[in-house]
Chains A and B, each alone.
Chain A
């Protein structure tokens, strides 16, 4: 108790002494001059406002490669042509081709940042890399969503059923993208885009024998069970895909730098 009182007295004592050091009165003319100068600076400077989510997406969309748009537009064009001609087998074949392509497009865009150590450059800009990854993945997922919806419409018009659509396109796309994103997360720039492409292509086409099996299988019970399994697996793959994207963004957080905070 006594020690505490002593400490308090010492603190008060020190406070009294320190407050003898008074600040000289601020020169009003100098203050006014400084404030005017600051106002002029503020007028000429581009003070950055916070961008809305849509603005951020649109900014990042500008950085996406042109082949992404061309490939997807080409696929959709072919898909609609085949649907119009009522060629269900061509639609199925196109969907099977589209699954690895979508994965490759996604991986190509993301692996660019890893392969060329772009994160260092990006991290020194306005947002940290985690943010840029998230926005870029959102933009790419948005484009994929449009392609998938259009493909689904085309597939349904040409007489296909939902589980087949999941087997041809959704399951390979979600599953292979998740696997490749995880590889990218673990291996970083040690893993080239070409090796990832090989994994995506081989993985996607491993689903073809499954389709052949179900077409030739005559047991109804097995067919129903298989259809259910495809639907569940697709949902699970979708969650894995979302998790992989989030994990990839979080993974780079430790490496990111927000230089503007380090004034």
Chain B
């Protein structure tokens, strides 16, 4: 069954279908929330919160055939809210410049954590674009739609985010310019 059809039926009163809808997109939302928060427990909380928001505001869904984008937009706002409430701030670009270089590849730090750390250095708006582009595979135009900003802004955020990540990964020694 198509998403729009499911939503129509939920609105008509078949509330049991909400579970089906949540089951279908749970993993996608969790994945986004995990990349965005970098914390497994927070990702579970944000995922749950996203579906609760969806339930509450399902009647404001008017975009046809773009349900996943709509859901991710809610997840994006929920994660922003999570940062606001938890008071966590990503480090600034200047902090990134001042990081001590650690080019030793033998350093026993898991790459996963390192990448997560790199992402957490980015400001929220750049992080969102990077996650949607590289992990969720969205096109720039679609990202502009999800984040609610213009296409040039998305391009600029992606470029800036990529530059910062490159600097970070170079300092950590996992960036290889010759790598293909």
Taking A17-B169, A34-B47 as known contacts, 19 extra A-B pairs with beta carbons closer than 8 A to each other, sorted by chain A number, are A12-B180, A13-B175, A13-B176, A13-B179, A14-B165, A19-B134, A21-B111, A21-B115, A23-B35, A30-B44, A38-B18, A39-B16, A39-B18, A47-B18, A48-B58, A49-B11, A260-B60, A263-B77, A263-B78
Determine if A42 is an interface residue (Cβ-Cβ < 8 Å).
Answer: yes
Determine if A26 is an interface residue (Cβ-Cβ < 8 Å).
Answer: yes
Determine if A149 is an interface residue (Cβ-Cβ < 8 Å).
Answer: no
Question: A14-B166, A263-B78 are known contacts. Are A35 and B116 too (CB-CB below 8 A)?
Answer: no
Chain A residues at the B interface, C-beta cutoff of 8 Å? 9-24, 26, 30-31, 34-39, 41-43, 45, 47-50, 126, 258, 260-261, 263
CB distance from B40 to the nearest CB of A (A): 6
> Which of chain A's residues have a CB closer than 8 A to the CB of B52?
38, 41
Give complex CA distance A79, B52 in Å. 56
* Among B24-32, B90-98, B99-107, B149-157, the stretch in contact with A: B24-32
> Which of chain B's residues have a CB closer than 8 A to the CB of A43?
15-16
CB distance from B19 to the nearest CB of A (A): 4
Give complex CA distance A15, B74 in Å. 25
Give complex CA distance A164, B174 in Å. 89
Taking a contact as CB atoms closer than 8 A, the residue among B15, B23, B59 that contacts A42 in the complex is: B15
CB distance from B4 to the nearest CB of A (A): 12
Determine if B51 is an interface residue (Cβ-Cβ < 8 Å).
Answer: yes
Question: A14-B166, A261-B60, A263-B78 are known contacts. Are A47 and B55 too (CB-CB below 8 A)?
Answer: yes
- A-B pairs with beta carbons under 8 Å apart, 29 shown: A10-B162, A13-B177, A13-B180, A14-B134, A15-B134, A17-B115, A17-B165, A17-B174, A17-B175, A18-B119, A20-B115, A23-B34, A24-B34, A30-B44, A35-B19, A35-B22, A38-B18, A38-B19, A38-B52, A38-B55, A39-B18, A42-B19, A43-B16, A47-B11, A49-B59, A126-B59, A258-B60, A260-B60, A263-B77
> Which of chain A's residues have a CB closer than 8 A to the CB of B18?
38-39, 42, 47
> Which of chain A's residues have a CB closer than 8 A to the CB of B87?
none
Taking a contact as CB atoms closer than 8 A, the residue among A23, A34, A263 that contacts B57 in the complex is: A263
Residue of B nearest to A262 (CB): B77
Give complex CA distance A20, B115 in Å. 7
**How many residues does chain B have at the interface if contact means C-beta atoms less than 8 Å apart?**
51
Determine if B85 is an interface residue (Cβ-Cβ < 8 Å).
Answer: no
Question: A18-B130, A23-B35 are known contacts. Are A48 and B55 too (CB-CB below 8 A)?
Answer: no
Residue of A nearest to B59 (CB): A48
Residue of A nearest to B179 (CB): A13
Determine if B13 is an interface residue (Cβ-Cβ < 8 Å).
Answer: yes
> Which of chain B's residues have a CB closer than 8 A to the CB of A35?
19, 22-23, 26
CB distance from B95 to the nearest CB of A (A): 20
Interface centre among A15, A48, A263, by most chain B C-beta atoms within 10 angstroms, is A263
Residue of A nearest to B53 (CB): A263
> Which of chain A's residues have a CB closer than 8 A to the CB of B130?
18
Taking a contact as CB atoms closer than 8 A, the residue among B10, B26, B34, B56 that contacts A31 in the complex is: B26
Determine if B135 is an interface residue (Cβ-Cβ < 8 Å).
Answer: yes
CB distance from A126 to the nearest CB of B (A): 8
CB distance from B6 to the nearest CB of A (A): 12
Residue of A nearest to B165 (CB): A14
Taking a contact as CB atoms closer than 8 A, the residue among A10, A18, A47 that contacts B10 in the complex is: A47
> Which of chain B's residues have a CB closer than 8 A to the CB of A9?
179-180
Q: Cβ of A23 and Cβ of B115 under 8 Å apart?
A: no
> Which of chain B's residues have a CB closer than 8 A to the CB of A12?
180
> Which of chain A's residues have a CB closer than 8 A to the CB of B64?
none
